[in-house]
Amino acid sequence: MSFEAALAAIRAQAPDIRPRVGFILGSGLGHLADSVDGVAIDYTELPGFPHASVSGHSPKLVLGRLERVEVAVLGGREHYYENGRADAMRLPLEVLNSLGIDTLFVTNACGSFLPEIPPGNLMLVNDHINYSGRSPLIGEPTDRRFVNLTEAYDPGIRAQLQAVAKDEEIPLIEGVYAWYSGPNFETPAEIRALKILGADAVGMSTVPEIILGRFLGLRCCAVSVVTNMAAGLGNEQISHEHTKASAPVGAAKLEKIIRGYLRGLT
């Protein structure tokens, strides 16, 4: 029911929009939503969208054009750690899917394990480790729940993003993102364990959204903005304030990558 109501609310305000690419913006990365030429709808006007507490500001869905491509930007997400719901972003993604997106582009802030990807840089996610063990598809009754995640991070999109990064002279190393439930940060021992498991970075989001994206048949990609070295690997004090304060450096690079990618679609 929320689905229909949210769709109707969107259709009332943006009747002609046919977005091709859907974005989810991570902590401190919300600026991109302001660059979209279109209509902004507060989540509070959209039944079933996450309401309170997303990073302390009021998130919006923005529908419009960026680099002449029609896009739908989810300016905030509900994290698993907020209410223990791994499927919190299912309805918003279903709505975007029904508006017509074929691609889901997810962004996040993360802690890096790799000295070659220090804070202020980007990591292109090429695979993930679901360290939380949660799935947004628990309770989904149909056989569609058995989603194949072999190439969850679309190789074709990764190649396109790599080409843009090369043009823009932005380092874009690929790596494995581990999803940690949060909201507390990890211990140094957990980071050592995740490193042994094969992760290159850690964060508290993205994985459930990529699983949902693949469930919906969307091509998916994710770019992480490194805001800190993960626990025990750097000197800075890890905190949410630090994440938000450090995100803009990498966010400027991310915006160039996103704009270049969209220009390549026209």
Please identify every residue annotated as catalytic: 27, 57, 79, 81-82, 109, 204-205, 228, 240
- Helices and strands counted in the chain (H then E): 8, 9
Number of residues that bind ligand HPA (CB under 6 A): 14
Q: Is 17 or 54 the residue whose CB approaches ligand HPA more closely?
A: 54
Give the three-state DSSP class for 158: helix
Ramachandran category for residue 107: left, alpha or beta (phi over 0 → left; psi -120 to 50 → alpha):
beta
Site pattern 64..83 for ligand HPA (x: CB under 6 A): --------------------
Give least dist CB 230 to ligand HPA, A.
5
Backbone angles phi, psi at 211, to 5 degrees: -60, -45
Among 230, 251, 257, 262, binds ligand HPA (CB under 6 A): 230
Give least dist CB 73 to ligand HPA, A.
20
Give the three-state DSSP class for 10: helix
109 binds ligand HPA (CB under 6 A): yes
Among 19, 30, 111, 250, binds ligand HPA (CB under 6 A): 111
28 binds ligand HPA (CB under 6 A): no
Q: Is 121 or 243 the residue whose CB approaches ligand HPA more closely?
A: 243
How far is 222 from 239, CA to CA, in rounded Å?
Answer: 23
Give least dist CB 209 to ligand HPA, A.
15
Contacts to ligand HPA from residues 121-180, by CB under 6 A? 180
DSSP assignment letter at 171: -
Q: Is 180 or 215 the residue whose CB approaches ligand HPA more closely?
A: 180
Residue nearest to ligand HPA (CB): 111
How far is 208 from 192, CA to CA, in rounded Å?
Answer: 23
> With contact defined as beta carbons under 8 Å apart, do 206 and 177 qualify?
yes
Alpha helices in the chain (DSSP H): 2-13, 31-35, 80-83, 90-99, 155-168, 188-197, 207-215, 240-263
> With contact defined as beta carbons under 8 Å apart, do 29 and 225 qualify?
yes
238 binds ligand HPA (CB under 6 A): yes
User: Which of 25, 24, 71 is CA-nearest to residue 265?
Assistant: 71
How far is 59 from 30, CA to CA, in rounded Å?
Answer: 9
Q: Is 203 or 260 the residue whose CB approaches ligand HPA more closely?
A: 203
Contacts to ligand HPA from residues 174-213, by CB under 6 A? 180, 185-186, 202-204
* Window contacting ligand HPA (CB under 6 A); options: 68-76, 158-166, 223-231, 249-257: 223-231
Q: Is 173 or 238 the residue whose CB approaches ligand HPA more closely?
A: 238
Q: Is 123 or 204 the residue whose CB approaches ligand HPA more closely?
A: 204
Give the count of beta carbons closer than 10 Å to the beta carbon of residue 82: 16
Q: Can you give the binding site for ligand HPA, defined by CB under 6 A? A: 109-111, 180, 185-186, 202-204, 227-228, 230, 238, 243
